[in-house]
Amino acid sequence: MAEQDHCRELLLENQLCFALHSTSLLMTKVYKPFLKELGLTYPQYLAMLVLWESNGITVGEMSKRLLTDSGSLTPLLKRLEADGLLKRVRRQADERVVELHLTEAGRAMRDRARDIPACIVKASDRDVDSLVALKEDLLKLRKSLQDAL
């Protein structure tokens, strides 16, 4: 028992990283049935959220918004294009830059996704204000971690 007390800081239940990780996994599972109706995976949904907000964004800009590298976005974007939700267009002035434009089907999907946030709020069993406060705390934590890198 003394050894366990000595390493208390290494217990899984005491790890913030695990609390965040396991909560993220469960959040994704809660989203799954709603996104299945749209034919989207969770990462595809995040990309569509960015496009609904900023149609015509470049792959590089989307990569920054989603905190991922553009190479890992490419297969996801190709799939969304194959599904008829977006078009990838090379910029004429600089062909290395790829712009992302919603199709009519991609724009229409936004209306079909409109109720998802309310469903997530209901599943969380928390009020909107507490969820907003939690999100703000997480954003501050994320910023601190980014600054530490």
Q: What CATH number does residue 66 fall under?
A: 1.10.10.10
Domain match, 107 and 126 both? no
Owning domain of residue 125? 115-149
- Per residue in 106-130, pLDDT (tens digit) is 999 999 999 999 999 999 999 999 9
Which secondary structure element, helix H or strand E, spans residue 36, and what is its range? Answer: helix 16-38
Contact 50, 57 (CB under 8 A): yes
Domain match, 128 and 98 both? no
Domain match, 57 and 106 both? yes
Domain assignment of residue 30, yes or no: no
Domain match, 100 and 130 both? no
Domain match, 101 and 128 both? no
Query: How is residue 40 annotated by DSSP?
Result: -
The Cα–Cα gap between 100 and 98 comes to: 7
- Per residue in 35-59, pLDDT (tens digit) is 999 999 999 999 999 999 999 999 9
Contact 55, 66 (CB under 8 A): no
Domain assignment of residue 45, yes or no: yes
Contact 52, 112 (CB under 8 A): no
The angle that helices 42-53 and 16-38 make with each other, rounded to 10 degrees, is 80
Domain match, 102 and 142 both? no
Domain assignment of residue 20, yes or no: no
Domain match, 68 and 135 both? no
The Cα–Cα gap between 131 and 73 comes to: 28
Domain match, 107 and 55 both? yes
Domain assignment of residue 27, yes or no: no
> How many residues comprise the chain?
149
Neighbours of 85 (CB within 10 A): 24
Domain match, 108 and 144 both? no
Domain count for the chain, please give it: 2
The Cα–Cα gap between 149 and 143 comes to: 10
pLDDT band at 91 (very low <50, low <70, confident <90, very high): confident
Domain match, 56 and 89 both? yes
Domain assignment of residue 123, yes or no: yes
Domain assignment of residue 148, yes or no: yes
% of the chain surpassing 90 pLDDT? 89
pLDDT at 6 over 80: no
